[in-house]
Amino acid sequence: MTGPVRHLLSIADLDRDSIEQILDLTESFAEVGERNIPKVPALRGKTIAWLFYEDSTRTRLSFETAAKRLSADTMNFSVSTSSVKKGESLRDTVSTIEAMGVDGVVVRHSAAGAPNRIAEWVDAAVVNAGDGWNQHPTQSLLDLYTARSHLGDLDGRHMLIVGDIKHSRVARSNVSAFTEMGADVTLVAPRTLLPADIDHWPVEVTHDLDSVIESADICYLLRMQLERQELAYVPTLREFHTEWGLDPRRADLLPEHALIMHPGPMNRGVEIDGSVADRPNALMTQQVANGVAVRMAVLYLLLGSGLDLVDERLAAA
Amino acid sequence: MSTTLAIRGGIVVDSTGTRRADVVVDSRGSIVAVGAEMEADESLDASGCVVSPGLVDLHVHLRQPGHEEAETVETGARGAALGGFTAILAMPNTTPTVDTAAMVNEVIGLGRGTACDVHTAGAITVGRDGETLSPMAEMVRAGVRVFTDDGTGVQDVRLMRTALEYADSLSYLSGGRPIVLAQHCEVSALSKGGHMHEGRWSSSLGIPGQPAEAEELMVMRDIALARLTGARIHFQHLSTARSVAMVRSAKQAGLLVTAEATTHHFTLTDETCASYDPVFKVHPPLRTDEDIVAVKQGLADGTIDAVATDHAPHTSEDKERTFADAPSGMLGLETAFALANTELDLPIEEVLALMSWRPAAIAGLDPVHGGPIVAGGAANLAVIDPGATWTISADHMASRSTNTPYVGRVVRGKVRHTILRGLPVVVDGEARM
């Protein structure tokens, strides 16, 4: 994100140095969140539009909170996928929004690459808030931030990503993000939930969660998308839970320092046992809290005055 | 009163060989003489050019009726003429579907007076629903020689068998010309939801993929049906290495199978989808480098009989969507010869065989199209400068749409003139009608 990066479309666009800069900046913004009045004027006069083609209360609230803490104006262009399929092309929709004069567009879309297309058509900065199975870069940044705050340097740390990898933008983003930061990533899933031809991915793959659980520094669980059950990627959710769920027995096998993470919303009793989700090393609430600070950092970097001014601005605020 | 036109200074190439000769045609549609220093009312310069039977495209989507905003029969025919084609076979997936003699007559009527000879395929099933056989006999009576549900394959194997046996019975209505079923090979249960080739690129791009096997399973199945029924099957737009290999061995076994490959399936790979630009979205999807090698090999050794375009116009609005939401298809008519000539590494005689006389024979259009250039033959000709290089641009195409994936590509081989029924419909690269 140093230099002329105008959009945040994919975590793979960021190298290790850029990621570290964002995480360092996140730390400053996390501090803002702890103040009595958690607000800085950094983006005063800037307008950000939410363009959510897919429902997402959590991510949108997180971005919205981040924008408000930066004093940006926001507007919501909520589009249901069905209304789009009826008529207006993506390009027309985006042009309409840009005509209203926005500085940033935060996009969530069910189709991979939608933010890339939009970035070709607008001058505003585009932030990918999740596109299909492809990318969810701010989720990865908040996951990195959360993991780093507990484990320090992620170099050589072993991360398991468990569950529905195939349909998960979080998995694709996090493979890039965590390997870029030096972690060793192992994907754990039955083949029906793994993408095809991933020999070239910088990961290990296993179907046997028990074989790797004891060596994990991070056990990252993905949401089983219950709406996909019609296609029967696993025979039953009960069987999925037995084989790939983090139950108390497996959670006990994790090293003591190991972190349990999940992008939410959780299906208790499916990918994670209810009691495990409430253990002290389960960081889901922290992930959500850090999400606001990370998104403040991203919005600030893309819409604000740039990295070099961060310290002054924050000091002045 | 007829007038005569001499095409002077070119090299004549047809299925009988290659020789230097002038060709004189008359405006009633016949070749009147082939030789040297003959008189004619007018002449066209063909120096440096090859004079060939007009090109024949077995696979175009003209969008009329139903989607005239993307293409009409007239604009599609003009693009075809600019591409050197004198005959094109329209696919029946219009709105409504071409599944009756009335619809066949509608499309043929729209093609009259255009810059190209427009034929249409009929649908195998009513509304291309894959469930009920369409009235094939009445469509054969109306001139149809090829049936297809293109855009989708016939999923029901029993229905496909019935269609093959029924169609095979109808050549008494076509003067003995064979009736061909052309299959878009895709097992939809396996391809469903996929927007590009399933493989390393789809996995890293997060775009749902469809495996090569979705095509291959139906190629395999239909080869079995060709054996069972003894009927003719034409495989449309073969795109995978294993499909080519299966067709090769089916031919060696003596089955009556033919095949086409599109220009994009030997030119572009799935890597292009990394742009997320739906101009690269097509069905079957763009495959891998290995598949391109196999398709080229199949074209070189005769396994694949024809180069087709699968010309599929879509409006800018329709392509200004996400990869998942945009429709499949790309333009092809005006770039096909140049791409084949540039990419295939074959002598021009072979390229022309793949684009003229072999497809003409498959669709029952010979010798009016693709026939030898001799006195008394039909005057449907393409005059092509094989050495001319040019840069592809979407700006000057005749199509109503601009969805060409080749913008900026430098290619070799340019159509200079196209002669349809003795009349110059393209002169010096410009359409006359």
Provide the token pair at A199. 């020999």
Closest listed residue to residue A281, CA positions, set A239, A218, A201: A218
User: What amino acid is encoded at A45 in this protein?
Assistant: G
Q: If you measure CA to CA, which chain B residue comes closest to A10?
A: B205
* A196/B321 CB distance under 8 A: no
Question: Same structural domain for residues A76 and A91?
Answer: yes
Question: Same structural domain for residues A129 and A197?
Answer: no
Question: Same structural domain for residues A206 and A95?
Answer: no
Q: Residue A164 sits in which domain range?
A: 137-287
A317 pLDDT more than 60: no
Helix (H, G, I), strand (E, B) or coil at B397: coil
Any B CB within 8 A of A205 CB: no
Please count the structural domains in chain A.
2
pTM for this one? 0.93
Question: Same structural domain for residues A272 and A179?
Answer: yes
pLDDT of A55: 81
The CATH number covering residue A149 comes to 3.40.50.1370
CATH numbers and ranges of domains, chain B: 54-362 (3.20.20.140)
Any B CB within 8 A of A172 CB: yes
Question: Same structural domain for residues A147 and A266?
Answer: yes
Beta strands, E only, B178-314: 180-183, 196-197, 209-210, 233-235, 257-262, 306-308
Taking the C-alpha atoms of residue B44 and residue A155, their distance in angstroms, rounded to an integer, is 73
* A195/B321 CB distance under 8 A: no
Question: Same structural domain for residues A68 and A163?
Answer: no
Question: Same structural domain for residues A266 and A145?
Answer: yes
Question: Bridge-partner residues for B7, per DSSP?
Answer: B23, B44
Chain A closest-CA separation from residue B192 CA (Å): 11
* Residues within 8 A of B (CB atoms), A 64-123 only: 84-85, 89-92, 109-114, 116-117
Q: How many Cβ atoms from other residues are within 10 Å of residue A234's Cβ?
A: 19
Question: Same structural domain for residues A48 and A99?
Answer: yes
Question: Same structural domain for residues A227 and A142?
Answer: yes
For residue A173, being part of any structural domain is answered with: yes
What are A115-166's pLDDT values in tens digits?
Answer: 999 999 999 999 999 999 999 999 999 999 999 999 999 999 999 999 999 9
Closest listed residue to residue A166, CA positions, set A204, A137, A138, A192: A192
Residues of A in contact with B403 (CB under 8 A): none
What are B243-263's pLDDT values in tens digits?
Answer: 999 999 999 999 999 999 999
For residue A253, being part of any structural domain is answered with: yes
Q: Are B418 and B431 in contact (CB under 8 A)?
A: no
Q: Are B379 and B31 in contact (CB under 8 A)?
A: yes
> Is B310 annotated as catalytic?
yes
pLDDT of A229: 62
Residues of A in contact with B325 (CB under 8 A): 84-85, 90, 111
pLDDT level of residue A225 (50, 70, 90 thresholds): confident
What are B339-356's pLDDT values in tens digits?
Answer: 999 999 999 999 999 999
What are B145-182's pLDDT values in tens digits?
Answer: 999 999 999 999 999 999 999 999 999 999 999 999 99
Return contacts of A237-245, CB within 8 angstroms, 24+ apart.
Answer: A237/A267, A237/A270, A240/A270, A240/A271, A241/A269, A241/A270, A241/A271, A241/A273, A243/A190, A243/A209, A244/A162, A244/A163, A244/A188, A244/A189, A244/A190, A244/A209, A244/A271, A245/A269, A245/A270, A245/A271, A245/A272, A245/A273
Question: Same structural domain for residues A155 and A239?
Answer: yes
Per-residue pLDDT of chain B (433 residues; tens, 9 = 90+): 789 999 999 999 999 999 999 999 999 999 999 999 899 999 999 999 999 999 999 999 999 999 999 999 999 999 999 999 999 999 999 999 999 999 999 999 999 999 999 999 999 999 999 999 999 999 999 999 999 999 999 999 999 999 999 999 999 999 999 999 999 999 999 999 999 999 999 999 999 999 999 999 999 999 999 999 999 999 999 999 999 999 999 999 999 999 999 999 999 999 999 999 999 999 999 999 999 999 999 999 999 999 999 999 999 999 999 999 999 999 999 999 999 999 999 999 999 999 999 999 999 999 999 999 999 999 999 999 999 999 999 998 999 999 999 999 999 999 999 999 999 999 999 999 8
pLDDT level of residue A304 (50, 70, 90 thresholds): confident
pLDDT level of residue A311 (50, 70, 90 thresholds): very low
* A111/B323 CB distance under 8 A: yes
Question: Same structural domain for residues A66 and A77?
Answer: yes
